[in-house]
Chain A
Amino acid sequence: GNSVTQMEGPVTLSEEAFLTINCTYTATGYPSLFWYVQYPGEGLQLLLKATKADDKGSNKGFEATYRKETTSFHLEKGSVQVSDSAVYFCALSVDTGFQKLVFGTGTRLLVSP
């Protein structure tokens, strides 16, 4: 089956620290990969995505590279801000005619000043 595993949280960092949130996947077929973010009190938002191997998705200073050989899609940011505090979800979709998202359990990021 299809599944996503991401690191347990919370991840606690100081402002301007480097961030990595690990994500690995198992999929039948060739998935598209996504990172979604949920800010406090808000709905899920797409942060970035990659649809084929070696693609790099990027947005708001966050990056993730689709690594087929290691079945990974780790999220990175060089310098986090307090405003990045949120829950981050890694997800995949295998196109079966529609985008059926399979999510990881989410990782809470807490950034302190």
Chain B
Amino acid sequence: GAGVSQSPSNKVTEKGKDVELRCDPISGHTALYWYRQSLGQGLEFLIYFQGNSAPDKSGLPSDRFSAERTGGSVSTLTIQRTQQEDSAVYLCASSLTSGSHHEQFFGPGTRLTVL
């Protein structure tokens, strides 16, 4: 079956512009996670969704970052007024439910470059 998909695969933007990154989780997966993989910080948790609500947004680095999930499926991560330090690979993962015994399946990521 289809795995987690993310779009675009690559995004180059200018400093100060807004960007939207999309994640399509595996059908039927209620839990969705965003992570960021950057050279300086490694792999960091950003936000978690259960259904359409986000019980944990503790990893979002600033108020320029926001995310939403609609219909319990697709999620969008928005970065406003991008900065060069936002350059990273943004990973999305989904799992059947939020329970700790359910494996997270990762998408291929979106590589964001802020010039």
Contact = CB atoms under 8 A, between A and B. Distances in A.
A joins B in a complex: yes
Interface of A: 32, 36, 42-46, 49, 51, 89, 91, 93, 95-106
B107 A43 contact: yes
Interface in B1-60: 3-4, 31, 33, 35, 42-45, 48, 50, 55-56
Contacts, number: 59
Contacts of B70: none
Given A43-B91, A44-B91, A97-B55, A102 B45 contact: yes
Given A99-B99, A99-B102, A101-B45, 18 more contacts: A42-B108, A43-B91, A43-B106, A45-B106, A46-B104, A49-B103, A51-B100, A51-B101, A95-B100, A96-B56, A97-B55, A98-B31, A98-B48, A99-B98, A100-B45, A100-B48, A101-B33, A104-B42
Interface residues of B, number: 27
Contacts of B31: 98-99
Interface of B: 3-4, 31, 33, 35, 42-45, 48, 50, 55-56, 91, 93, 95, 98-104, 106-109
B98 A98 contact: yes
Which one of B35, B100, B102 has the highest number of Cβ atoms from chain A below 10 Å of its Cβ? B100
Contacts of B44: 103
A101 B104 contact: yes
A44 B36 CA distance: 12
Contact of B104 (A89, A95, A97, A99): A99
B98 A106 contact: no
Contacts of B35: 101, 103
Contacts of B101: 51
A5 to B, nearest CB: 11
A89 B43 CA distance: 9
Given A98-B55, A100-B48, A101-B45, A43 B102 contact: no
